[in-house]
A = this chain, B = another copy of it.
Amino acid sequence: SKRYTITLLPGDGIGPEVISVATNVLKFAGFLEGIEFKFQEMPVGGAALDLTGVPLPEETLSAAKQSDAVLLGAIGGYKWDKNEKHLKPETGLLQLRAGLKVFANLRPATVLPQLVDASTLKKEVAVGVDLMVVRELTGGIYFGKPRGFGTNENGEEIGFNTEVYATHEIDRIARVAFETARKRHGKLCSVDKANVLEASILWRNRVTAIASEYPDVELSHMYVDNAAMQLVRNPKQFDTIVTNNIFGDILSDEASMITGSIGMLPSASLGESGPGLFEPIHGSAPDIAGQDKANPLATVLSAAMLLKYGLEEEIAAKRIEAAVLDTLSRGYRTGDIYSDGNAFHFSSGNPRIEETR
């Protein structure tokens, strides 16, 4: 039987409880498919700060690197919100992405037939939405140098960051995006701000150049402001979207909310080689942590992505996806996706969203 080592990073807030559900699901899917998992649990984020004083201990990173895949719960919480930048839980997450070199972040946003009412969009706009955002994850303004604080020529304080992309960074994310689009519906939309930014002009040029390797994929370009509109106007026009780190952060969250089921959405972060990082896109929701209210399905579906993209165990992955759909079809719901027959309560708080995320 096949054996894999999985690093579990429960993290903060609802992280531990959703990881525990997903681990059980993985075990059972593995049992059915003759796969054996060795799980090793390590601290990250606020949990690691409390334990070790840093948000990503060296032991955690090296354990993660030596395993076959990494499953993360969630990080962050009010407790560490006022910490200095290098001592924030978020910094641990950024260090983990950089450390694992997972430059390609895949974020599907799908409106499930069972949950179409959960979207704030009209039914005819929401039904059938099925898109994938491919976000560049280890470059751009998140990591660009120089960055920091300083004074300008008038002696005034300034804060600055650098948006920068090199050709190989764009080429490799473009290839992942074209491959992804090829396995989906063959349409790729590259999002940038090439009418204003030089970094985006290079982005557009390189994506266009790489397109010649994928004649079967239909490439289009869109400015980021227009993309933010089009996601609201007619999300069904999109199949696969590729974009930089910061635009991907914004657009993938917007897309996820369009499905109405942010507690349902997984993500995969992949590098050239080495283990991938799999995590729900929701936050740590400290308000409801430990109350058994959290929707574990985003993490369960992240475990399915782990099997599919991380271990190439496609059948076990499909088993988990089928089980999730089956559970929903039988009517089981957590509060965030529960509708009382008629309408969802949009204006009441959505426990999946943490204000600080």
Residue A41 CB within 8 A of the other chain: no
Report which of B154, B229, B237, B246 forms a contact with A193, defined as CB distance below 8 A: B246
Q: Is B233 a contact of A350 with CB atoms below 8 Å? A: yes
Min Cβ gap A203→B in Å is: 7
**A94: B residues at CB distance < 8 A:** 196
CB distance A258 to B234 under 8 Å? Answer: no
CA distance in complex: A176, B199 (Å): 31
Q: How many residues of A contact B (CB 8 A)?
A: 74
Are A90 and B195 closer than 8 Å at their CB atoms? yes
Chain B residue with the shortest CB-CB distance to A233 = B257
Contact A232 B254 (CB under 8 A): yes
Partner of A121, one of B120, B141, B158, B162: B120
B156 touches A165 (CB 8 A): no
CB-defined contacts of A233 to chain B, threshold 8 Å: 120, 257, 346, 350, 353
Asked whether A159 and B203 contact (CB < 8 A) given A228-B254, A233-B350, A262-B229, the answer is yes
Q: Are B225 and A161 in contact (CB under 8 A)?
A: no
Contacts of A157 in B (CB 8 A): 166-167, 202
Q: Are B122 and A223 in contact (CB under 8 A)?
A: no
**In chain B, what residue has the closest Cβ to A123?**
B122
Please, which residue of chain B has its CB at the minimum distance from the CB of A148? B198
Among A148, A228, A237, max chain B CB count under 10 A is at: A228
A202 and B257 form a contact (CB under 8 A): no
A162 touches B159 (CB 8 A): no
Question: Once bound together, how far apart are the Cα atoms of A195 and B46, in whole Å?
Answer: 14
Is the CB–CB distance between A85 and B201 below 8 Å? yes
Chain A, 333-357, contact with B by CB distance < 8 Å: what is the 0/1 string? 0000000000100110010010111
The answer to whether the Cβ of A239 comes within 8 Å of any Cβ in the partner chain is: no
Asked if B124 contacts A356 (CB within 8 A), the reply is: no
A152 adjacent to B166 (CB under 8 Å):
yes
Of chain B, the residue at the smallest CB distance from A236 is: B347
Chain B nearest CB from A272 CB (Å) reads 16
Q: A229-B353, A232-B120 are in contact. Are A224 and B249 (CB under 8 A)?
A: yes
- The proximity string for A residues 136-166 relative to B, scoring 1 for CB distances below 8 Å and 0 otherwise, is 0000011010011100101011111111111
* Contact in complex: B356, A202 (CB < 8 Å): no
Q: Mark A200-241, 1 if CB is under 8 A from B, else 0.
A: 111100000000000000000011111011111110110000
Chain B contacts for A195, CB-based, 8 A: 88, 90, 356
In the complex, residue of chain B having the shortest beta-carbon distance to the beta carbon of A76 = B195
Residue of B nearest to A235 (CB): B120
Q: Interface 1/0s, chain A 160-184, versus B by CB < 8 A? A: 1111111110000000000000000
What are the 8 closest A-B residue pairs judged by CB atoms, nearest first? A159-B202, A229-B257, A160-B164, A228-B254, A225-B253, A159-B199, A232-B257, A159-B198
